Amino acid sequence: MFKLPAFSKTGGHRVAPDMSNVDPSPRHLQVTNCPNNSYALANVAAVSPKDFPDNIYILVDNLFVFTTKQANEVPPGTIGFNGNQRTWGGWSLNQEVQVRAFDLFKYSGKQSYLGTLDLEISFRSRGKAVNTPFDQDELASHFVKCFESQIFSPTQYLIMDFKGFFFDLKVRNVQAIDLGDVEPSNSVSTGIEVKGILTNKTQINFFKGRDGLVNLKSSNSLRPRSDAVIRSDFKFEDLGVGGLDKEFTKIFRRAFASRIFPPAVIEKLGISHVKGLLLFGPPGTGKTLIARKIGTMLNAREPKIVNGPEILSKYVGSSEENIRNLFKDAEAEYKAKGEDSSLHIIIFDELDSVFKQRGSRGDGTGVGDNVVNQLLAKMDGVDQLNNILVIGMTNRKDLIDSALLRPGRFEVQVEIHLPDEKGRLQIFEIQTKKMRENNMMDKDVDLAELAALSKNFSGAEIEGLVKSASSFAINKTVNIGQGATKLNTKDITKLRVTREDFMNALSEVTPAFGINEEDLKTCVEGGMIIYSDRVNSILKNGARYVRQVRESDKSRLVSLLIHGPPGSGKTALAAAIALKSQFPFIRLISPNELSGMSENAKIAYIDSTFRDSYKSPLNILVIDSLETLVDWVPIGPRFSNNILQVLKVALKRKPPQDRRLLIMTTTSAYSVLQQMDILSCFDNEIAVPNMSSIDEFNNVMMDSKFLNDADRVKVINELAQISPKFNVGIKKALTNIETARHDDDPVSEIVELMAQSV
């Protein structure tokens, strides 16, 4: 029926069969088992002589390519596959498949040969695994001998017999080339659509499978590691993590780059691999996501992921044993295989919950200290391991024991900070990818605009912003009445997330970090009135403290107490100093925000705000009306001692390294703070008195453009006759001016109001 295409000899090796005389029409065959082991080990498809010729390429289900081998035991209308082949194709016995002859050269052109072929190798039976080293060059030669001229593509499964051992092989990636090219023009691919013919010129690399049981060695010192931890086709953009390009580059350079090189090269350099990687930063910035994604880019053993508190146990010694168990597999393999052992990754989430500074606990048991000691010994003790990588994540780097942060342990410390505008744009592109691909986002949405408007948003908050915008769009198709909620099915096809939806979401979702510009600007909405040299001096002193925090290496923390009578302008001056500083993080703690909270809620809010003020390199925290925050009232007197103690500790707590904080606290009850013994918590004090002369009030009227020169002189003269002393706060004076401005006789009204205030 068919003419058998013969394999020709060219350059000492077989070449692809001639497919020109083979009928290309498809037919439907039933899947059956291959007749015997010779077919299974040859990686061929067993066919009936009545169906297909011998030694041709066939395409099954338009995706999977095999070489045929005739077998009289195979009934017509069936095709025999071994178990690995059926696993690759996802076929069951007796399942019908479409089969037709396949011409690779029409499919791929001249680039139809394999330049490189990367294979994962595992023992077919774990029970028969041995520690005998297998030479990769011998394996490659045997592989070519068994399967030369066959077509291979990524994800393909096959079985190979080598020196009496049966191995399962999986094609990891291939590089299709033109044999006439001096340099390959195609890159390595993991896509099943890329196919190529195996020749004796193909470079074959073996890598350990997931079980890591095959002990591979190489006589060629430049051959890639058999257990290279990074996939050869890995790209950072494939991880789907935006705004962290620099961080990923640093992580790769410090923690993984050396592990790609052959052990012989690293030995010549005289270096050891990095064993610890610490990710720290504010919540929601992607620390856990990075650790999760790192596992997808590795060919190492499955990472062991541990939440910090899971280590602790109620039994004596069990907590330390849990640490030892995490390293047990790595120790056993390192003793057996040395530098050829696989990489073992251990991921600790919430690292600060367990590995706190030794001696800081008050439990009296010493369990926490022992756990820290155990981890120190395992990471960089007497018996050093070079096949481990411990990844830790924390929001509180300052709580972690300092010995864990030195080189040899968590020496690579990467801060996962809030994304900048470019990073936010990347995150928006990732979060809206499906929305855009499925035409669910309106064309009026500008992601660059959203990135600019979402200042200080973390990655998690941007995700929440996209969800909020989607909810606004979905809500348009839902009728919510007094009865059942109804869905307008006709509007579903018109569902689009528009710019308006994102604008609504921006007003609904607010960032946890950044500048409270609205609150601060409210404090100085009337502007600054320099009514005397004292005000100018206060602003200059405040600017000096800002420069001190910004520039001094010894002043990571500066606390100021701005005190004076009520209405003297303390809060406005503090807000003006803060806004003029242009620090990236400015936060205001005001009694207005704590109104109605319980004592515990107030404590939590204050503590959280202080910790947030450590997230940026330069921070300013304005605490308004300290006596009101501690619930002080003169009747009794009464105040909240718990809130007071929290503030005492927070005011003296220095921020972490490379973080600077300026605290400006205002009070109208200086003597009360003196009795509370909190004045010692402040480095400096700034007094803000009331206006002390009529001339200063005249300057206020002039700056407020109140009355003409003659009327102002009249006001000043009348006030001088009423009282030679003048002691009025700027806030009261401005209020009186605005009241008098709307009176029929503003001169008489302002005189009367100021006389009452004096």
pLDDT(20) > 70? no
Least confident of 87-96, 249-258, 641-650: 249-258
Name the most confidently modeled range: 184-198, 535-549, 610-624. Answer: 535-549
Q: Given this model, what pLDDT does residue 255 score? A: 81
Nearest to 195 by CA among 154, 231, 145: 154
Nearest to 660 by CA among 512, 575, 545: 545
Quote the tokens at residue 502: 């994102």
Q: What is the pLDDT of residues 703-737, one digit of tens each?
A: 888 888 888 888 888 888 887 788 888 888 888 88
Q: pLDDT tens digits, residue range 522-537?
A: 888 777 888 888 999 9
For residue 105, what pLDDT band results from cuts at 50, 70 and 90?
confident
Mean pLDDT along residues 266-283: 83
Q: How confident is the model at residue 5 (pLDDT cuts 50, 70, 90)?
A: very low
DSSP state of 486: E
Among candidate residues 202, 188, 204, the one with its CA nearest the CA of residue 135:
204
pLDDT at 97 exceeding the cut of 60 = yes
Alpha-carbon distance of 10 to 465, in angstroms, equals: 63
Name the CATH code of domain 112-217 (choices 3.10.330.10, 3.30.930.10, 3.20.20.80, 3.50.50.60): 3.10.330.10
Residue 693 or 211, more confident: 693
Query: Which residue, chain included where needed, has tokens 């990236």?
Result: 584
Residue 513 confidence (pLDDT) above 50: yes
pTM over 0.85: no
**DSSP β-bridge partners for residue 46:** 69, 80
Per DSSP, the chain holds a count of helices (H) and strands (E) of: 28, 28
| pLDDT beyond 80 at 155 | yes
Q: What pLDDT score was predicted for residue 340? A: 67
CB 562 within 8 A of CB 625: no
| CATH T-level topology, domain 236-360+367-415 | Rossmann fold (3.40.50)
Does position 628 have pLDDT exceeding 60, yes or no? yes
pLDDT higher than 70, residue 225: no
Coil, strand, or helix at residue 666?
Answer: strand
pLDDT confidence of 514, banded at 50, 70, 90? low
Residue 334 has pLDDT above 70, yes or no: yes
State which CATH number among 1.25.40.340, 1.10.8.60, 1.10.10.10, 3.40.640.10 fits the domain covering 422-508: 1.10.8.60
Distances (CA, A) of 291 to 104, 286, 407: 41, 9, 20
Alpha helices in 76-178 (DSSP H): 83-89, 104-108, 136-147
The predicted model gives 91-111 an average pLDDT of: 89
What is the 3-state secondary structure of 237-290? HHHCCCCCHHHHHHHHHHHHHHHHCCHHHHHHHCCCCCCEEEEECCCCCCHHHH
Residues 6+ apart with CB under 8 A from 20: none
d(CA 47, CA 99): 11
Q: Does 483 score more than 70 pLDDT?
A: no
Which range among 202-206, 272-276, 452-456, 675-679 has the greatest average pLDDT? 675-679
pLDDT digits (tens, 9 = 90+) for 376-427: 888 877 777 888 888 888 888 878 888 888 888 888 888 888 787 888 898 8
Predicted confidence band at 490 (pLDDT cuts at 50, 70, 90)?
low
Q: In the chain, what percentage of residues exceed pLDDT 70?
A: 88
Q: What is the pLDDT of residue 223?
A: 58
Least confident of 247-256, 424-433, 697-706: 247-256
Q: Is the pLDDT of residue 757 over 60?
A: yes
Residue 209: per-residue pLDDT: 80
Query: What local confidence, expressed as pLDDT, does residue 4 receive?
Result: 32
Tokens of 567: 């209405």
Confidence of residue 157 (pLDDT cuts 50, 70, 90): very high
Distance of alpha carbon 400 from alpha carbon 375, whole angstroms: 12
Please tell me if the domain spanning 236-360+367-415 has the same topology as the one spanning 517-687.
yes
Domain boundaries, the chain: 27-102, 112-217, 236-360+367-415, 422-508, 517-687, 694-756
Residue 636 has pLDDT above 50, yes or no: yes
Work out the mean pLDDT of the chain and round it to a whole number.
Answer: 83
- Give the rounded distance of the alpha carbon of 588 from its chain centre: 28
Average pLDDT on 536-564 reads 92
pLDDT exceeds cutoff 70 at 367: no
The tokens of 143 are what? 């592989």
39 has pLDDT over 60 = yes
pLDDT above 90 covers what percent of the chain? 30
Q: What mean pLDDT do residues 279-295 have?
A: 79
Using 50, 70 and 90 to split pLDDT, how confident is the model at 238? Answer: low
Q: What CATH number labels 517-687?
A: 3.40.50.300
Side-chain half-sphere exposure of 250, counting CA atoms within 13 A: 14
CATH annotation of 27-102: 2.40.40.20
Residue 8 — very low, low, confident or very high, per pLDDT cuts 50/70/90? very low
How many Å apart are CA 145 and CA 136, to the nearest integer? Answer: 14
Does the pLDDT value for residue 6 go beyond 50?
A: no
**Residue 356: how many other CB atoms lie within 10 Å:** 18
